[in-house]
Each structure stands twice: as structure tokens, then as C-alpha cells.
Chain A
């Protein structure tokens, strides 16, 4: 089943066109990796999906529902954007954990705030809290952080922080989990532990979009790879195809330069 359809997205900042006619779709349980050099528009694309940026043109559909259509003002109401965002989760390059909360509180916070909007919240406050806590603890256990739940972000390593951030995004059960260069701020040793966690999520058929510079990881974990260059999708397809037999000269050059490193 198709979870996500992105059609003809354009985005410019001032006179700079960052995204030019980007279209792709994603099936449920699949992993899409987006590769390409810095400034090619990968991050902007993720930010558009998470409604942190507003595309100039194009359509975004999730599970057949049109979340955004540049030609339809009714899809752009500020009041609806919040609930639309919940279809997506986003893991940032720089983690962006909340420093004043423990790992566990970081994972629980958004869900607790959402629960307050439930009509039965007052009556079942205690149960709801316990439920959210149990779920958050389970997620942190999956991330291998059972001994770190009550630590504050500054007491954790970069890799541990990023795993907390992944748990935090998963807590809201998004349809699609997005990663924006999740290991770029980490040293090689810590990169491994984060990639391992993402791999486990892929094995559990979590629908994911991963912007990454880790080529061998992208090749191993993805069902689909997009190569972006100068705001366009230059190549798109099966990871073996894109990595081993790229059609475009530019892709060949990019992959070649990465390999030689």
C-alpha cells in the first residue's frame, strides 16, 4: 500500500530554487534513502514533509489523504498543520533533545500534552500517564537505553542522545519516520550504534525516509534510493541499480567520489 505520495514539489528561498519538481512515492514498510551532496535540497525536502517549510508548489498525500496542496488553500490552514505533522516523525542531525528533561521525559512529553486534549483525560489521568510511561520505557529499552532513562541529555553520549531522539519520534507512532543525516554529528564509533537501531527498525518494517551520507548503510537498508542534485531527483530506484549501475554521469561521479574516500 502506498503511504506517501509527493508530487511536483517546488520550493525556493528568495531567488534560490532549492527544490525543483520533486516527485516520489513510498510504500508501507519500506525504507527510502535520499543521497546527494550538501545543498542538493535533501534536508529542505524533509522539512517540507514535516511542515517546517511551506512548498511553493506541489501536493503531499499520506494514505490517500491530501495533506498539502499548494493550489488548495483549505489544506494550508495553520490550525490543521499540527495534526498533519503527526503523520511524520523527524529525527534531527543535532538531536534537539529538550535539555531540562530526562531521556524518559523527553520521550513522554509530547504524548502527555496530546493526551490532555482527550475528552476522557481528567477521568483517567493516572491510567493514561502510566500507559504513556510504559510505552516510553519500552521504546527506550528497544534503543538499548534501559540504564539511561533517568539521565539528562548532557549526561549522554551523542549516540545515546540520538537514540533517545529516535524513541521520542517513535512515541507518537508516525506513519513515516524521517531522519535528517542522523549520524553526521557523531564520530564513527557512535555512528554504528545509531545505524544499528535504524536497521532494526527497518527489519520491523517501519516506513522510513533517511537522508544520509552513509552510502554502504543506505545500500544495505533501503528498498529505494533517490539521488538528488541541485534540487532535482536525478536518479531513483533500487539501491543496487543506483549504486552499481547509475544511469547519470553526475550520480556516477558522486558515488565514485564517496567510494574513493
Chain B
């Protein structure tokens, strides 16, 4: 116990650094995947059949394979197979590859949630807008959008909480996020070796962060409780 207390400040400092990388990946994914998901939704709902089929196949592949494999492919495929490394070297290159893989993966999941949200707004809402002389875009922004947002918040919250923990998969390409930082003390780092507790302790970071997100997302959900 005394040993842990002694190691604690060193470990926390290292985990904090790792967690910053985790947070960076989390927010980059969110910022990229939220709009990209919408574009994929429009693709899969397109009346132009080839585009809709193409998009659906992409979504099927991305949702049907492990994110870990996608990370490996995104990171190694350009350099090792094509001979054109595109990600740059070091931590910055790993981060870029991880962020692109995460954004693409999550955008596909989000697109399906959006599609559900769009299709859940009854046709009658659009028709009521039309007979009142509204334009299609007025109907989308003034009538349908808020109803869609209300419907997608619970499933989106779910995905966002999952994303918090999925960021740890970036460990597989040696991104120096919090799991990587914790594991370092197992192998030996800053005079500490063979310590497993830092790895276990990373769980506290995830728990606190997902706790904060749960509260915030719950608040957002309640904000839209005023209508049904």
C-alpha cells in the first residue's frame, strides 16, 4: 500500500497525459462523425439506386467487422501494402490514422441512427407543412429537425458512451492513450516496473468521464421532454 502511495503521483501524471490523448481522439471522432454520418445517411436514403447500394455496402462492411481490424488496416495498409505511407511518422501519424478510422466507423453507426430518426417522423408532418404552403427546407428545419433530434438523442447517447471506451482500441496501433500509459508501468517506466494497478486504475478515468457525459446527455434529453 505504501508502495502504491509512493507511485501514485508519478502514475497519475502519466495517466493524465495518456487521457488527454484519449479525450483528443474522443472529440475528434465526435466532431468528424456527426456530420459525416449525415452525409452517409443521405447517401443510403438516396433515390439514385447505385449510390444507395454502394453506401449500404460500405456501412455493412464497417459495422460488420471489428473496429480493431479497421484500425490496423487504416494504419498499416497504405504503408506496408501500397508502399505509400500517408500518415506521417510518430505519435501524430498514429493519431491521424486512428482518428480517420474512428470517424469513418462511428459515422456509419451514426448514419443508421439518423436514418431511423428521419424515418420516424410521420409523413403527416410533411404533408401538414406542404398544405400550409411551406417549402421543403422550411418543413425540414422548422418542423422535422427538432423531432428527429429528440428521437435520436437516446441512441446517440448510447453510441457516445460506447465511444469513450472504444478509444482504448487505438492501443493496438500504439497510440499513446491512457491504456498505453498505464501499461507502460507494467513493462517499466520512470523507475516503476511490474505494477499492474495503474492499468486497473485507468478504469476510474473512463468511469468519471462517462459519468459526466451521461449527466450532460440526460440533461439534453430532458430539455426536449416538453413535447412528444
Query: Which residues of A does B touch, CB under 8 Å?
Result: 50-52, 82-83, 85-86, 88-90, 92, 94, 96-101, 109-110, 113-114, 152-154, 168-169, 172
Contact = CB atoms under 8 A, between A and B. Distances in A.
Nearest to A52: B127
26 contacts: A51-B130, A52-B130, A82-B133, A85-B130, A85-B131, A85-B133, A88-B131, A96-B122, A96-B124, A98-B143, A99-B147, A100-B146, A100-B150, A100-B227, A109-B142, A113-B138, A113-B142, A114-B133, A152-B227, A153-B227, A153-B228, A154-B228, A168-B132, A169-B132, A172-B132, A172-B133
A77 B125 CA distance: 23
A47 B129 CA distance: 14
B131 A90 contact: yes
B146 to A, nearest CB: 5
The B interface is mostly helix, strand or loop, or mixed, namely: helix
B199 interface: no
Interface of B: 122, 124-125, 127-135, 138, 142-143, 146-147, 150, 226-228
Contacts of A113: 134, 138, 142
Nearest to A84: B133
A88 B127 CA distance: 13
A110 B125 contact: no
Interface-centre pick from B131, B143, B147 (highest chain A CB count, 10 A): B131
Given A99-B147, A109-B142, A153-B227, A94 B124 contact: yes
Contacts of A153: 227-228
A140 to B, nearest CB: 16
